Chains A and B, each alone.
Chain A
């Protein structure tokens, strides 16, 4: 889902199709969730949780690369700031809050992205609107509701977000009713004795 304020990522990079993003985010969120579950012992810390989740996502891309299960995803480099590509668009994975990122160093372009940017500029001329794509997975510390969200954010060369895509599907809201709906009062469910031919007892209600 892209907020009304932003255009869809495919408007900036045609490779970033909705179906690719949804499919990939679903799998990444599963990997992160399993990692967080595995790192949920009393002896785990924020560091072990964070590094396990990040490492598992890196491992996910490595196995994806090996299996070629999704030919449209490739791993561009295997370093700690690993970069993957959807089509030819480079993206880095970050575990952080996309709206108030603490790991601001992760917004800087790495050597690979820099090279790609330069090549694009040589080929197309002006600087592209999005200089870096980051796939954020953010964790809400909530017990009641699902805690993981995935966002794809496109940053310009000043590290300002120009495109925000949220992996979620908002449901359409039908025509709004005018008056507030009345509270639904539910009486206790009926339960009664069965009248059996043997006993001939009349049903007793409660």
Chain B
């Protein structure tokens, strides 16, 4: 295999990034270029692609050739992301998602030169002790206080996150296999999983990720304890203890009042399971009562989706799309040139709505 002159400023690491973001393996690249997988690997280390190979790579990985000439700034490793400990989220998939987020962060850097997002307002808790439930309750209350939210039900968790300066993005490949996940590099980001089963699950997911952003900055998560802490934070954020305890319906003898719980579910926009979990954590229900509530829900077919879910519409991220909507055609062109990304990737992978050019070439007959 002969080596060609190095294209000016070709960055091997950027080829790796583009390959990972496209979910491609070395054998895939080898087949594409008609070379061995070993050579495909060398292309990311010290070998240099020919102009023809480079063109083919750019086309296949859905970037422009300019993408390979931009230095890789801040590599993002999967362990920096707060992924759910789901077996279906393989390491390969996590690497792909981390690479896609890294690419998006470069896009955001360019975007932020033109557009100003709200400043992040995630409290820095330093080395605060988060081992006790009470400490986590206080941190959730602190966040509500800092965002001036009061103690009532939150109308939109998406807007709450965005108000706190967290950018919510959608990736086509972040789905039920991976769930939502979050990370905090330049600014806090939450990647929302594609199609939530219900608005309640989606809202709890968001609150859980905010929990990770507050509690676990600079920590590797995914173990039982960190997940439980994030769940506890989510519960406390969605349902502050004093307001929740005042409204929680009293038991009718040994039975839960499902109609009253239904009203509470609609008002607080959380699932029955989240209500029971919260009541158990606050000592308003005994563990046996919580358990019997879960059993009741499972027996009535409410494991994933529950009654009344249809009355709560799902939420959608707004801020990032609104920021892109502020760009004019020239801004868009500049953004694409500076990042080496294609319109196809932005629309397909990141689910962004791109402006349609107002002028089009018309071929006369």
Contacts and interface: CB of A to CB of B under 8 A. Distances in A.
Given A177-B151, A204-B326, 17 more contacts: A3-B287, A5-B286, A145-B274, A169-B133, A170-B282, A171-B134, A171-B137, A171-B236, A181-B152, A181-B153, A182-B150, A189-B117, A191-B116, A191-B319, A191-B323, A192-B115, A192-B116
Contacts of A194: 113-116
B286 A190 contact: no
Interface of A: 1, 3, 5, 26, 29-30, 33, 37, 40-41, 97, 99, 138, 140-146, 148-149, 151, 164, 166, 168-178, 180-194, 204, 206
Contacts of B291: 97, 99, 138, 140
Contact of A186 (B113, B133, B155): B155
A206 B114 contact: no
Contact of A184 (B150, B236, B273): B150
A176 to B, nearest CB: 4
B322 A174 contact: no
A146 B231 contact: yes
Interface string B210-223: 00000000000001
A145 to B, nearest CB: 5
13 contacts: A33-B224, A145-B231, A151-B287, A166-B287, A168-B133, A173-B245, A175-B242, A181-B243, A183-B154, A185-B155, A186-B154, A187-B159, A206-B323
B159 A144 contact: no
Contacts of A174: 241-242
B162 interface: yes
Contacts, number: 157
A183 B225 CA distance: 31
A99 B287 CA distance: 9
A141 B303 contact: yes
B153 A183 contact: yes
10 interchain residue pairs of minimum CB distance: A181-B152, A189-B162, A186-B159, A170-B283, A40-B87, A176-B246, A181-B243, A181-B151, A206-B322, A169-B133
B81 interface: no
B131 to A, nearest CB: 9
Contacts of A164: 287
B42 interface: no
Nearest to A44: B87
A29 to B, nearest CB: 6
Interface string B230-269: 0100001000111101110000000000000000000100
A175, A181, A191: which has the most chain B beta carbons within 10 Å?
A191
A170 B137 CA distance: 10
Interface residues of B, number: 67
B36 interface: no
Contacts of B151: 177, 181
Contacts of A97: 291
A99 B326 CA distance: 58
A140 B231 CA distance: 15
Contacts of A138: 291
Given A33-B224, A138-B291, A183-B267, A144 B286 contact: no
Contact of B160 (A5, A145, A186): A186
A119 B293 CA distance: 42
A173 B141 CA distance: 13
B292 interface: yes
B168 to A, nearest CB: 10
B85, B115, B204: which has the most chain A beta carbons within 10 Å?
B115
Contact of A171 (B115, B204, B282, B318): B282
A104 B163 CA distance: 53
Contact of B117 (A29, A169, A186, A191): A191
A189 B165 CA distance: 8
A117 B350 CA distance: 66
A193 B283 contact: no
B156 interface: yes
A30 B224 contact: yes
B338 to A, nearest CB: 15
Contacts of A40: 87
A206 B129 CA distance: 40
Contacts of B227: 146
B170 interface: no
Contact of B115 (A151, A175, A193): A193
B133 A193 contact: no
A10 B243 CA distance: 34
B113 A181 contact: no
Nearest to A151: B287
Interface in B45-60: none
B271 A37 contact: no
Contact of B274 (A144, A148, A204): A144
Nearest to B325: A206
